[in-house]
Amino acid sequence: MIHREGIPTIIITLLVAGLVVFSALYFTCYPIVHFLAYAIAAFLLVLVLQFFRNPKRHTTLSDLGVIAPCDGKVVVIEETTETEYFKDKRIQVSIFMSPINVHVNRNPISGIVKYVKYHPGKYLVAWHPKSSTENERSTIVIENQVNKQEVLFRQIAGFLARRIVFYSKEGDKAVQGAEFGFIKFGSRVDLFFPIGTDIKVKIDDVVKGGITSIAELK
């Protein structure tokens, strides 16, 4: 299944691939040129199709459990100050998404969307320490309806990423595991939890969006 955000890119890729193959037809005396043209066209198409794939995920809902909002690798677990919304100490967990990961973003918890804000910005590499405050990004906060705790998660564009897409609006009812957005071509998602939250992952763990348990709220 292909994500709807990929349709324009796929159409452009098909046009480029067609142009490459068509151009090679002028070099009838050089079979190697035809081979290279077909190989390049196929590579581009496969690369784009795999990037925009949207596999079905079956989320086991949890009242207090927090699941991974995206596929990727855990690169940060630390206590830090969240300066945009909470303005206090929080536990930050960051997941890096490489270009080969599924880039669909999913709600980590169920509840009410309390805050949504988009920030234009730079395109530092996603693992750069300043990427969370200087890159193009969106911030979303969901309030858990069981214990009223709030979880903040932030989409961050990387060096290759040039567009963040999110569908959440303030006041929406969020369902754990449901899609809330997409980031194109390499990126990162940060989560911020209350101090004392039971974190279930460790650095370098590979996680699956909508499936892997990240934390347990108290």
* AA letter at 200: K
Of 62, 132, 187, 213, the catalytic one is: 187
* Alpha carbons 51 and 111: distance in angstroms, whole number: 29
* Alpha carbons 132 and 170: distance in angstroms, whole number: 21
Q: Measure CA 55 to chain center.
A: 14
DSSP 18: H
Count the Cβ atoms, other than its own, within 10 Å of residue 79: 9
* Alpha carbons 187 and 179: distance in angstroms, whole number: 16
* Alpha carbons 149 and 139: distance in angstroms, whole number: 16
187 is catalytic: yes
- CB-based contacts of 123, cutoff 8 Å, min separation 6: 135, 136, 157, 158, 159, 161, 162
* Alpha carbons 152 and 135: distance in angstroms, whole number: 17
Q: Are 152 and 122 in contact (CB under 8 A)?
A: no
Residues involved in catalysis:
187
